[in-house]
């Protein structure tokens, strides 16, 4: 199973749909599964998914030859199910307008951008799937077809993906306090 994960707004679903069409594979969209099966609670403008229930459900639904999309992948998929996990990453400064367009609250914007800066999904993917199955792609200025080409190189083990370090970028701009406000 090929997994496409990453923070909201990085292009997971667009890339997954096009990749699955190209490879003629079914798509398992974790967000859709959670919504269709009503395994979430509404909390303000967000949905809090019950990841334990989603994991049990996905275990029954997941097919070996499929593409799975969703930021919850590292929390609901088992290492044995995954052949390759691709984490799409995007420059945090480019994510802010995406989140504003989606009408995210300022708190949700800071949480998601902070997660991207720190590489939380990459860390959790490595912890769950292993470093040999986990790869990053800097999707910031790439088209879906360019990302799919990079995924092809990774799955054929002709590339190790990209090294992504947004923390260094943000620190050099002096913006750490902007994304990680001091809570007193």
Q: Please give the tally of structural domains in the chain.
A: 1
In a domain, 12, yes or no: yes
Does some domain include residue 104?
no
CA distance 33 to 18: 19
CATH code for position 133: 3.40.50.300
Would residue 33 count as lying in a domain? yes
The answer to whether 21 and 67 have CB atoms below 8 angstroms apart is: no
The helix/strand/coil state of 150 is helix
Of all helices (H) and strands (E), which one includes residue 135? strand 134-138
* pLDDT tens, residue by residue, 13-66: 999 999 999 999 999 999 888 888 888 777 766 667 778 888 888 888 877 788
Residue 137 lies in a domain: yes
Q: Show the domain range for 7.
A: 2-93+120-164
Q: Of 91, 87, 83, which Cα lies nearest the Cα of 135?
A: 87
Average pLDDT over residues 87-112: 94
Domain assignment present for 173: no
Residue 85: name the closest of 51, 118, 57, 126 by CA. 126
Mean confidence (pLDDT) of the chain: 91
Question: What pLDDT score does 58 carry?
Answer: 86
Residue 184 inside a domain? The answer is no
Residue 136 counted as domain residue: yes
In the prediction, which pLDDT does 34 show? Answer: 86
Q: What is the tens place of the pLDDT at every residue in 122-152?
A: 999 999 999 999 999 999 999 999 999 999 9
Beta carbons within 8 Å of 150's beta carbon, 6+ residues apart: 137, 142, 159, 161, 162
CA atoms of 122 and 116, how far apart (whole Å): 9
Asked whether 98 and 15 are in contact (CB, 8 A), the reply is no
Give pTM, 2 decimals. Answer: 0.91
Is position 30 within any domain?
A: yes
């Amino acid at each position: 199973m090929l997994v496409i994960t990453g923070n909201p707004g990085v292009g997971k679903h667009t890339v997954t749909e096009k990749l699955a069409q190209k490879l003629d594979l079914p798509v398992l969209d974790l967000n859709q599964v959670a919504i269709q099966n009503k395994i979430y609670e509404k909390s303000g403008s967000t949905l809090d998914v019950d990841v334990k229930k989603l994991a049990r459900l996905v275990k029954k639904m997941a097919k070996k030859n499929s593409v799975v999309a969703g930021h919850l992948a590292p929390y609901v998929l088992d290492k044995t199910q995954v052949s390759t996990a691709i984490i799409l990453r995007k420059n945090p400064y480019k994510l802010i307008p995406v989140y504003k367009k989606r009408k995210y609250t300022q708190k949700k914007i800071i949480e998601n951008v902070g997660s991207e800066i720190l590489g939380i999904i990459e860390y959790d993917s490595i912890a769950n799937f292993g470093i040999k199955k986990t790869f990053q792609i800097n999707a910031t200025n790439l088209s879906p077809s360019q990302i799919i080409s990079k995924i092809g190189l990774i799955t054929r083990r002709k590339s190790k993906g990209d090294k992504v370090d947004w923390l260094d970028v943000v620190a050099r701009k002096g913006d750490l306090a902007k994304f990680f406000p001091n809570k007193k």
